[in-house]
């Protein structure tokens, strides 16, 4: 046999033997040597139960003093003294400015003299009236003379009343030369100094006093949001907050949380034509005077109550390619079911769901990457999904 034929026959024999060996291995694997089938995937779920949910809105606003007094003169004159420390706390009645009282004291003294003169005239008129009354009874004088005496006495009484009124006005003006604080609060800068001429009708305030504790915070809510809340309340989806019980929390301009809780006091009954908003006013204690008039804040306001709210952890809701919210739910068959859901708002680390989820549903929150709709799963309440889904440690 030639050499080439002998090589070809040997190669053919090896190929046939290899084929038989592989076929035998496949047959053994099919007879029980393969991997066992996998069971249902274990997933972490949370059972949704109705609960009371306080609905809040975060709104921008400003700090407003409860009382604000612009100090203005009520009489004209020269400022002879500034009697307060600028920036200090003042009480009602504390002296602030002194206007030169000399001209007003002179006017009051003249009015006092005018009262004495009028009272003397009245005494004479009364004596004459009594004399004429005796003369009329004895027919020693005419009735006309007596009537004139009576009229003179009445005129003297009117002059006394007028003089006393002038004296009272002069004393009021004299008292107004000492300007006092009408309210308790913190006074700002003085706009005038000693020697300045002020007028009773001037527009510029001499100083301004703000009451600091307690203090208002005014925030603005859109009329559209207000109408939506009212509609929800009308159909029974939400409950209104009792007056005086709505709590408000503040975030200050530096991002820190204010440590005092406020109460919603009122909602203005008019919508602003320029902004389309309604003003909501809250009252806050301010013992440390952290809140200053005019300060910008962000307020979290309680606007309603959902007595049967359904909260779903945020990681249990994903977004479809069209932007719809989707939750994976374990149905009665123990299979994964995709539900389209509507989330109203975020509440902490959960979504308040209004459509698509019912009380008692088991929403999958862990193991979402290893499931698909229709797949049988093993729900574990509150469990953490397999480590394969967890992000790597940083």
CATH of domain 43-53+308-386: 2.40.420.20
Q: Is 382 left (phi over 0), alpha (psi -120 to 50) or beta?
A: left
Distance CA 342, CA 228 (A): 16
Give the count of beta carbons closer than 10 Å to the beta carbon of residue 14.
9
Query: 3-state DSSP: the chain helix, strand, coil percent, rounded to 5?
Result: 30, 35, 35
CATH of domain 54-66+214-306: 2.40.30.170
Q: How confident is the prediction along the chain (394 residues), in pLDDT tens digits per residue?
A: 443 444 334 344 434 344 444 444 444 444 444 444 567 888 999 999 999 888 778 889 999 999 999 999 999 999 999 999 999 999 999 999 999 999 999 999 999 999 999 999 999 999 988 888 888 788 777 888 888 888 999 999 999 999 999 999 999 999 999 999 999 999 999 999 999 999 999 999 999 999 999 999 998 888 777 777 666 656 555 555 555 567 889 999 999 999 999 988 877 778 877 888 888 888 999 999 999 999 999 998 877 778 888 999 998 999 888 888 999 999 989 999 999 999 888 888 889 998 999 999 999 999 888 888 999 999 998 644 333 333 333 3
Interior/surface letters 78-103, b for 16+ CB within 10 angstroms, e for the rest: ebbebebeeeeebeeebebbbbbbeb
Distance CA 385, CA 139 (A): 126
- pLDDT given for residue 266 in this prediction: 78
Q: Which of 223, 207, 186 is nearest to 90 (CA)?
A: 186
Distance CA 212, CA 289 (A): 6
Distance CA 369, CA 356 (A): 21
CA separation, residue 359 to residues 69, 227, 337 (Å): 56, 28, 16
Task: Point out which residues pair with 329 in neighbouring strands.
Answer: 337, 363
Q: Which tokens in the block code for residue 268?
A: 């203005």
| Boundaries of every domain in the chain | 43-53+308-386, 54-66+214-306, 69-210
Q: Which of 31, 45, 142 is nearest to 360 (CA)?
A: 45
Phi, psi angle pair for 148, to nearest 5°: -65, -35
Q: Which tokens in the block code for residue 189?
A: 């800068």
- Cis amide linkage into residue 214, ω under 30° from 0: yes
Question: Pseudo-torsion of CA 87, 92, 96, 99, nearest 10°?
Answer: 160
CA separation, residue 103 to residues 56, 163, 217 (Å): 61, 18, 45
Give the count of beta carbons closer than 10 Å to the beta carbon of residue 220.
17
CATH 1.20.120.1200 fits 69-210, yes or no: no
Residue pair 264/301 in contact (Cβ under 8 Å)? The answer is yes
Helices (H) and strands (E) in the chain, counts: 4, 21
Q: Which tokens in the block code for residue 372?
A: 């698909």
Distance CA 124, CA 164 (A): 18
Distance CA 83, CA 94 (A): 9
Each as own residue / partner, the long-range contacts of residues 115-122 (CB below 8 Å, 24 or more positions apart, any chain) are: 115/160, 115/163, 115/164, 115/166, 115/167, 117/163, 118/156, 118/159, 118/160, 118/162, 118/163, 119/160, 119/163, 121/156, 121/159, 121/160, 122/153, 122/156, 122/157, 122/159, 122/160
The DSSP output letter for 140 is S
Statement: the pTM of the whole predicted model exceeds 0.85: no
Place of tokens 């990681």: 315
- pLDDT given for residue 175 in this prediction: 96
Residue 107 sits at the vertex; the CA angle it makes with 102 and 110, to the nearest 5 degrees, is: 125
Q: Which of 90, 68, 57 is nearest to 248 (CA)?
A: 57
């Amino acid at each position: 046999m030639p050499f080439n034929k002998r090589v070809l026959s040997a190669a053919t024999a090896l190929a046939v033997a290899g084929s038989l060996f592989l076929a035998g291995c496949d047959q053994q694997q099919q007879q029980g040597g393969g991997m066992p089938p996998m069971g249902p995937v274990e997933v972490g779920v949370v059972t949704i139960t109705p609960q009371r949910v306080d609905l809040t809105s975060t709104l921008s606003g400003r700090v407003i003093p409860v009382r604000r007094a612009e100090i203005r003169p009520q009489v004209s004159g020269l400022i002879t003294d500034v009697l307060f420390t600028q920036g200090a706390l003042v009480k009602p009645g504390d002296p602030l400015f002194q206007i030169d009282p000399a001209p007003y004291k002179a006017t009051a003294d003249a009015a006092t003299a005018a009262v004495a003169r009028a009272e003397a005239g009245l005494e004479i008129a009364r004596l004459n009236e009594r004399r004429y009354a005796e003369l009329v009874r004895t027919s020693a004088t005419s009735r006309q003379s007596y009537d004139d005496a009576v009229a003179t006495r009445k005129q003297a009484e009117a002059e006394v009343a007028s003089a006393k009124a002038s004296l009272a006005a002069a004393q009021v003006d004299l008292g107004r030369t000492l300007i006092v604080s009408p309210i308790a609060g913190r006074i700002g800068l003085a706009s005038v100094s000693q020697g300045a001429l002020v007028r009773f009708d001037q527009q510029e305030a001499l100083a301004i006093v703000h009451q600091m504790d307690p203090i208002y915070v005014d925030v603005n809510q859109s009329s559209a949001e207000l109408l939506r809340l009212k509609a929800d309340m009308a159909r029974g989806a939400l409950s209104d907050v009792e007056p005086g019980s709505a709590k408000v929390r503040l975030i200050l301009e530096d991002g820190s949380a204010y440590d005092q809780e406020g109460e919603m006091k009122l909602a203005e009954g008019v919508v602003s034509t320029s902004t389309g908003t309604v003003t909501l006013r809250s009252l806050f204690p301010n013992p440390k005077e952290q809140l200053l008039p005019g300060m910008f804040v962000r307020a979290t306001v309680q606007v309603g109550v959902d007595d049967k709210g359904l909260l779903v952890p945020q990681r249990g809701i994903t977004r479809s390619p069209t932007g719809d919210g989707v939750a994976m739910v374990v149905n009665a068959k123990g299979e994964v079911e995709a539900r389209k859901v509507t989330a109203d708002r975020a509440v902490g680390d959960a979504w308040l769901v209004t459509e698509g989820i019912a009380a008692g549903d088991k929403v999958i929150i862990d193991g979402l990457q290893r499931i698909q709709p229709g797949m049988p799963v093993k729900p574990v309440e509150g469990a953490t999904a397999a480590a394969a889904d967890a992000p790597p440690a940083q």
